[in-house]
Amino acid sequence: MGDDTLIDAHPGSTAHQVDRLREENLRLLDLVRYQRSELHEAGLITDEEYASLASEKGSVSRLESYDTLRDRLRKQTQRADTAVESRNSALTALKLAYRKHEMDDESVGWVEVGDRLCDAICEIIGDDGFALWLDEVSSE
């Protein structure tokens, strides 16, 4: 075998383990490369190591793919945070409506209930969606 590819790399085989270790080693080096400035500033790598890490073939494209993954993760986290906020707003509005309607809680006003419900609906379907919904309800 003159090249770096391994034949018969089925799970559990030595060849598969070597391939997996190579991939893990590349990922580890890429992560070190990604943090090379911080490592250099902290004195954990030398100038020569910094230069070597910055110039290795293939590292830039791999690092770009990590950046893409980080960006996707950031966007998904934002969506999850928005969903949690919408859920909390809707739950607060529902509890308030229950207190007013079912428990006849005098400390809760109908205007307050309406405002909270409007806010919760707008968080879930947006202001434009709310306006469309009002138009639909008005035309029924």
Query: Each residue of 43-98: pLDDT tens digit?
Result: 887 888 777 776 766 565 666 666 777 788 899 999 999 999 999 999 999 999 99
Q: What is the pTM of this model?
A: 0.49
DSSP code per residue over 55-116: H-TTHHHHHHHHHHHHHHHHHHHHHHHHHHHHHHHHHHHHHHHHHHHTT--TTS-HHHHHHH
**Pairs from 107-111 (Cβ < 8 Å, separation ≥ 24):** none
Q: Output the average pLDDT for the chain.
A: 83
